[in-house]
Amino acid sequence: MLIAGNWKMFKGPDEAGAFCRALRDADLPDDVDVVVCPPYVSLEAAVQTLAGTEVGVFAQNCHWELEGAFTGEISAPMLHELGVYGTLVGHSERRQWFGETDETVAQRVRTALAQGLHVIACVGESEAEREAGETDAVLRRQVGVLEADENLVIAYEPVWAIGTGKTATPEMAQQAHETIKSVLDLPVLYGGSVKPDNAAELMSQPAVDGALVGGASLDVESFAAICRAASL
Ligand code: 13P
């Protein structure tokens, strides 16, 4: 099981340091891999504070070139230099607000993996796509541009469940994860309003290999509770 906390645009370096100090002291299960994904400016504080622990630090995105004229972007070697272990790619907020496409996601994933980063690549259908019966096709398209890799994990995050308090039912998650695994046989995390009180049921589905947590990862106690719920 892997539990990753995506902080999105929350927690500057001071808050990140305080969170990671508290996480170091939290009751985390040994059989669950735990990852936090701070904003770029807080990565160094997180890496330093979590040094020597089992908690991994991931970025939230990574460019497909190693360097160049790409204002506002960050490359894999830069993340490596900071001691960052991996990166998210293709989060639906990147696709929705920042023009990320299946092709740019695939390029970013390829480079990050080639540069030795672990990658959580995010996919998921919108509400309109689900209502139109297109969930299966959308997932096959989004996952179909990626290639299997031992350092790649997929996160299934239905867009309508992100930050809405609406969670996919365990059966919906199971079905979507089966579709994804039929295209690429990789671990698949569920994301979308995962909370301490719904985590265990979602994680009990055979095709659910962990969770990508947004809002509930911002509080150490609720994040640690989700990690414990994922433990066997
Ligand atoms: P919430 O857990 O806040 O719904 O966010 C999910 C998410 O987008 C994680 O990447």
CATH assignment of the domain containing 204:
3.20.20.70
Q: How many Cα atoms sit within 13 Å of 99 on the Cβ side?
A: 0
**Quick one: pLDDT at residue 184?**
98
| Residue ranges making up the domain that contains 18 | 2-229
Query: What average pLDDT does the segment 45-55 reach?
Result: 97
DSSP letter assigned to residue 41: G
> 127 Cβ partners below 8 Å, 6+ apart?
159, 160
**Quick one: pLDDT at residue 57?**
98
Residue 187: is its pLDDT beyond 90? yes
**Quick one: pLDDT at residue 189?**
98
Total number of domains constituting the chain: 1
Instruction: Indicate which atom in ligand 1 lies nearest the CA of residue 37.
Output: 10
**Quick one: pLDDT at residue 232?**
74
pLDDT digit string (tens) for 146-186?
Answer: 999 999 999 999 999 999 988 999 999 999 999 999 999 99
Percentage above 70 pLDDT, the chain: 100
Residue 47: is its pLDDT beyond 80? yes
Query: What average pLDDT does the segment 76-101 reach?
Result: 97
Residue 83: is its pLDDT beyond 80? yes
- Ligand 1 within 6 A of 215 CB? yes
Query: What average pLDDT does the segment 73-88 reach?
Result: 98
DSSP letter assigned to residue 117: -
The rounded mean pLDDT for the chain is 97
* Catalytic residue status for 44: no
Distance 81 CA to ligand 1 centre (A): 28
- Ligand 1 within 6 A of 212 CB? yes
Ligand 1, atom 1: closest residue by C-alpha: 214
Tell me if residue 162 falls in helix, strand or coil: coil
Structure tokens at 4: 């990753």
Residue 202: is its pLDDT beyond 90? yes
Residue from 63, 91, 118, 177 carrying the catalytic annotation: 91
Query: What average pLDDT does the segment 89-111 reach?
Result: 98
Query: What average pLDDT does the segment 187-213 reach?
Result: 97
Query: What average pLDDT does the segment 77-91 reach?
Result: 98
- Ligand 1 within 6 A of 121 CB? no
- Which DSSP helix (H) or strand (E) runs through 66? none
Question: Alpha-carbon distance 78 to 89, whole Å?
Answer: 16
* Catalytic residue status for 150: no
Q: Give ∠ CA 99-103-104 in degrees, rounded to 5.
A: 50
Structure tokens at 123: 């996919």
Q: Give ∠ CA 208-210-211 in degrees, rounded to 5.
A: 110
